[in-house]
Amino acid sequence: MANCSSIPKRILQIAIPVPLNRLFDYWPPQNIDVETIRPGVRVLVPFGKSAKIGIVMATAATGDSSVDIKRLKPAESILDIEPLLSALDMQLLQWASRYYHHPIGEVMATAFPTALRQGKAAQLRLENCYSLTAQGREIAVEQLKRSPKQQSLLSFFRSRTNPIAERELAEYKPALKALLEKGLVQKQQETAITDVSPVLQPALVANSEQQQAIAAVVADLGRFSV
């Protein structure tokens, strides 16, 4: 910022994942109009002797900075074109920070997976999915009685409201190809969703002492004592 005419009129207020419950003021990156930077985007900033990934929370007038503007540093780069967090997301995270008395930068960071916290590109992985066409929804299943696999697959599609990922149809490949050729099913791409089904663990077995304690507690249920 060599002279007064080159000093931006607004600064960025950034949440940085450090154990300090405050926002940090920065100049926008050089040659980037601050008006194009929206809250919810990630930004790379110099911090101490290193660099950190922060979240733009707001922009403010230069005069509103809590730091002498001569000490402000420019952010190094804006990492996202569009905000990764909506206004509602940010309000919720700010509420959580206040409610739990936890540093805002660390709370904001928890909203992102590790890769995004490390500054990697926010790219959604797409996968092939399949859904019924209008013809596939209307045709009588009985018309496929000579092809049990196709009939079964058609019924499977009708039992689902959302497109079915290709990985779920591995055992139906020939039948799927046939339904595609008949115009009963269509192919499309959807955002890949990680399987987050819980892993069930066998129930723990109480030993004799624990069983006696459990029995005593159960026997006392419903009683009221002071």
DSSP three-state, residue 46: strand
Reference 174, options 145, 153, 188; nearest CA is 153
DSSP 129: E
> H helices within 13-147, ranges in order?
87-100, 104-109, 114-117, 134-138
Count how many residues are written for the chain.
226
Reference 97, options 55, 135, 67; nearest CA is 55
Give me the average pLDDT of each 10-residue run along the chain (226 residues).
64 96 94 91 95 96 88 94 91 94 95 90 80 93 91 92 89 93 90 46 64 70 53
Does the domain at 4-117 match CATH 3.40.1440.60? Answer given as yes
Q: How far apart are CA 166 and CA 223, in angstroms?
A: 56
**Confidence at residue 46, expressed as pLDDT on a 0 to 100 scale:** 96
* Tokens coding 128: 């092939």
* Tokens coding 104: 């805002």
User: For residue 48, what are the CA distances in angstroms to 45, 51, 52, 76?
Assistant: 10, 7, 9, 13
